[in-house]
Structure 1
């Protein structure tokens, strides 16, 4: 019966900027009509729309500086609004959570240039202010532009994971330093908190040192929901060890199933965690129309807004090489890639493993960061979501934006009711914290 089948989890994937992950959307005639993305009402409206659709969270991606690989400059990113300008993600949290009651917020924050002590303080503060609706997408800065902007020498991937492991260990100690009953608040005695129940951390590691107590008392979730997007072998281990939910981009159902099986095997065999205990959320771009022809027309219009040079600048930033130095007809399979391995795989398998040219790769990636694209009616899209859950092992979907806020309004108005009719989506929020809602079956 349909009621016995897995129900989908949904999240809206955006950035705190003029353009998210569909390059050129600021040009679209339906993009941000009467909205200013740098002002609170736009974000509050998007948040309320997602909450109306019973989404788990708005998930805010981030990048710390404009990509500067393409032609050894960030000119193309500035010129074509390739994830630029982008404002700081955690500043949106109070704006979003005061406009909603249930919607969580996932913030992408890099471990590369911030000490764990201040990271814990910021995330705990946001968890308090949101009444327990925060997730942290743990990343280690991968692009040269970020390291350049912070005046640092870029470290190799293996070194970054060793450092992140130690980073997390210190974060855990700080989050757990306040016992749940540490605060007494006895006005007669004048004792506010019991020092014996607020542990002083004395951490001496290879990369970090910290001596002191966390300045924030225990927040509603204790610690934020921990999110990861590891796709390399080392990244998958890190995700299987630490994450409560994983965001992955795979171009087809076979790759999704391989990833699902691999992650669950690592969970159980390597880290002794229960199978299925980490939610697997796969990226997806949905273009819904009143008819298939209408949806296809919308798809063509979205694709027509992509500037080729901006698309090349984006894949240069994500993957490392300067794609201005390659022939547009060269096959990307022949190019050495130091950047985000998992996302590059989404390009390699975009045509089922057939060769894909630099030009094809850039335009495909610029559409929605290499995520599979489903185009059709609400019924068609619901069919696809069910297929990815039942055959690909997906627990839910990260819905990448096209034009905003319209793409989310259309999904909530058309696709959500169809999923509910099929018994594949909730009709109410099951809990009050993000962890309760996200980890619910």
Structure 2
């Protein structure tokens, strides 16, 4: 299986920043991220995955920002203290331009010698969009732009043949310009001549990720994705997600195993099951429910002032729940079923992801059960507290997975494509994607 780690600030639990040993300012400091990178590589994890929200995710009077530093800057620093682990960063297709993103991630791929990945997301929400535009684009517009954006980036990454650089000192020929091709894209959203200003890396170009649970994300993943970060709280949901994406990918002429499915798994590991449950309870007590209520209200698109922790969502607001998209949909289903907001916050400690609480064997059991069911290719690990939760995974859970024969003991190569078992793209054989849209 494949294992990635998704570190955010002090950890994925809202109370993580108050946990003994945590750095409350971790979201804005590089030192902690570098320690995470070295630890994750020591565990031989496939990759580090960094999300990004270009704005405050919610009011931060009760808990810190989940991310602050820009992902590719963090990953570039991580590349200098690691040698093998993959480096996957998120960047928005709504609030960026294709050439800049293609250049930025190809630069990271060259700096890391073929270990980069780009998680392409559309980004939504008034807190973010107001930083860029007067009115947030519609979902239909965002995903239409995303389709063209990704296709243009891929065309730019493919604009150099692998042997375009000659660098022959004796003859004076530096590059074969017949092998560096403009893409000459003219589309609905973008006009890009190209070519890119950088050559291919050891793996060709970055691995393309998509993240989310919407139907549009499934279609985009089926068309271009090579890995998918998603939320699946049960095996049936994961199986349905896998079947839809693979069916659509096959319909587009792609092989059934073209995409690596790596849903999020939030973990709370203790020496015993009781210790793990007590750890979870202690973290709940350290988190301010008012902050969690505001964050949940923002995800559900509801006014926080009209909600109460120990009551369900008022009937007058429940019709809004049908419009909820993305990772908040599991919360919306619980709210529509009449659960109290406090119950949803407790149940949703994983942000809509699977939650594994227990001793190392029990957490390994959860991972093995899902992998054995054939509905995932691995997981994106999301420790409740970074400072001691990630070491527990690396030093206690991962060795169990190795003993059970479902996780490798060393890297299979040096690039992210080799870790994921993905082929190096055949640039010469691919026609421009953007022109086909």
* Length-normalised TM-score, structure 1: 0.89
Aligned residue number for residue 386 of structure 1: 368
Aligned residue number for residue 341 of structure 1: 325
Do structure 1's residue 26 and structure 2's residue 17 form an aligned pair?
Answer: yes
- Name the CA distance, whole Å, in 1 between partners of 2:420 and 2:323: 29
Do structure 1's residue 357 and structure 2's residue 340 form an aligned pair?
Answer: yes
Q: Structure 1 unaligned segments of length 5 or more: list them.
A: 1-7, 68-73
- Name the CA distance, whole Å, in 2 between partners of 1:354 and 1:248: 23
Do structure 1's residue 283 and structure 2's residue 283 form an aligned pair?
Answer: no
- Name the CA distance, whole Å, in 2 between partners of 1:47 and 1:12: 9
Q: Structure 2 unaligned segments of length 5 or more: list them.
A: 424-437
Change (3 A) 1:342 1:200: closer
- Name the CA distance, whole Å, in 2 between partners of 1:423 and 1:85: 35
SS of residue matched to 2:417: helix
Aligned residue number for residue 45 of structure 1: 35
Aligned ranges for residues 228-377 of structure 1 at < 5 Å?
228-268=210-250, 270-328=251-309, 329-331=311-313, 334-337=318-321, 341-348=325-332, 355-365=338-348, 367-377=349-359
Change (3 A) 1:335 1:81: farther
Do structure 1's residue 163 and structure 2's residue 153 form an aligned pair?
Answer: no
Change (3 A) 1:105 1:335: farther
RMSD: 2.4
Aligned residue number for residue 105 of structure 1: 87
Aligned residue-pair number: 420
Do structure 1's residue 121 and structure 2's residue 112 form an aligned pair?
Answer: no
- Name the CA distance, whole Å, in 1 between partners of 2:241 and 2:60: 35
After TM superposition, give the deviation of residue 338 of structure 1 in Å: 7.6
Aligned ranges for residues 160-199 of structure 1 at < 5 Å?
160-199=142-181
After TM superposition, give the deviation of residue 274 of structure 1 in Å: 1.6
Question: 175-184 or 321-330, which moves further after superposition?
Answer: 321-330
- Name the CA distance, whole Å, in 1 between partners of 2:331 and 2:258: 29
SS of residue matched to 1:261: helix
After TM superposition, give the deviation of residue 358 of structure 1 in Å: 2.5
Change (3 A) 1:89 1:339: farther
Conserved in 1, the CA contact under 8 Å of 2:76 and 2:111? yes
Change (3 A) 1:115 1:309: same
- Name the CA distance, whole Å, in 1 between partners of 2:323 and 2:53: 14
- Name the CA distance, whole Å, in 2 between partners of 1:51 and 1:115: 32
After TM superposition, give the deviation of residue 340 of structure 1 in Å: 5.9
Do structure 1's residue 203 and structure 2's residue 193 form an aligned pair?
Answer: no
After TM superposition, give the deviation of residue 335 of structure 1 in Å: 4.4
